[in-house]
């Protein structure tokens, strides 16, 4: 049941973020939800002590820098939060993927883990895009003049890229941004292919029912 809680927190974050404003209240709501993802993410990988230690060492700085950024508005704290959050999301997604691929039987937790990994991939790349734009402003352009690139904007762009929809309203401009977009597109396509193949293989381990 570990991945159930992570999946709920991820869905909650993705469902709520479009409806909160960019002001202080909106930042606090998003930070509460992202903190919940950190907590449930640590729990999701808690089946081994080493994994828990690594997850905690990444989650605590991400949590602390995130709330300090909300309080002070210091961009350096925001960048530090992004680095640790990116590493945490990537680590949790990797552990989740290994657990899903290692399952011999398909359970509800296996499905929750598979979906959680996909959502974590989107958030990982969104965090990476935000970090690139923060360190190198102008890495992305928008077809709507005056658009401000915030983390919710990059969540949208990330999942559009991950699903290879390619609406074209946000465009990577620099080589670094384009490279990230290419890598996300490839990772999303490969993940779906590998996941389907693994789940089909795992289904072969399920006991047959009926009169056979």
pLDDT above 70 (res 204): no
> Tokens 């929750």 belong to which residue?
112
Dump pLDDT digits (tens) for 29-53.
889 999 999 999 999 998 889 999 9
Q: Report yes or no on 208 lying in a domain.
A: no
Q: What Cα–Cα distance (Å) separates residue 167 from each residue in 25, 159, 170, 193, 207?
A: 30, 11, 8, 23, 44
Residue 209: inside a domain, yes or no?
no
The domain tally of the chain equals: 1
Residue 23 pLDDT? 66
- List pLDDT tens digits, range 135-187: 999 899 988 877 788 888 899 999 999 988 878 889 999 999 999 999 999 99
CA distance 26 to 37: 17
Q: Is 142 helix (H, G, I), strand (E, B) or coil?
A: strand
User: Which residue range is the domain that position 189 belongs to?
Assistant: 2-203
Q: Is the dihedral of CA 98, 103, 182, 119 positive or negative?
A: negative
Whether the model clears a pTM of 0.85, i.e. scores above it, the answer is yes
Q: Is residue 129 part of a domain?
A: yes
Which CATH number goes with the domain that contains 31?
Answer: 1.10.287.70
**How many Cα atoms are found within 13 Å in the side-chain-facing hemisphere of 158?**
24
């Amino acid at each position: 049941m570990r991945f159930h809680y992570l999946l709920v927190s991820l869905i909650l974050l993705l469902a709520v973020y479009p409806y909160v404003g960019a002001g202080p209240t909106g930042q606090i709501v998003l930070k509460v939800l992202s903190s919940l993802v950190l907590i449930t993410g640590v729990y999701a990988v808690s089946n081994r002590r080493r994994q828990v230690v690594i997850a905690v060492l990444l989650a605590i700085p991400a949590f602390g820098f995130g709330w300090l950024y909300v309080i002070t508005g210091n961009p350096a704290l925001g960048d530090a939060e992004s680095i640790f959050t990116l590493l945490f999301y990537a680590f949790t997604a990797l552990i989740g993927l290994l657990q899903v691929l290692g399952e011999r039987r398909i359970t509800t937790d296996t499905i929750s883990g598979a979906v959680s990994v996909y959502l974590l991939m989107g958030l990982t790349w969104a965090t990476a895009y935000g970090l690139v734009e923060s360190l190198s402003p102008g890495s992305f352009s928008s077809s709507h003049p005056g658009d401000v690139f915030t983390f919710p904007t990059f969540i949208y762009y990330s999942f559009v890229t991950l699903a290879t929809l390619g609406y074209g309203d946000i465009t990577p401009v620099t080589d670094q941004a384009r490279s990230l977009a290419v890598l996300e597109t490839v990772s999303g396509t490969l993940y779906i292919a590998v996941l389907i193949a693994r789940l089909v293989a795992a289904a072969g381990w399920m006991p047959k029912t009926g009169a056979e």
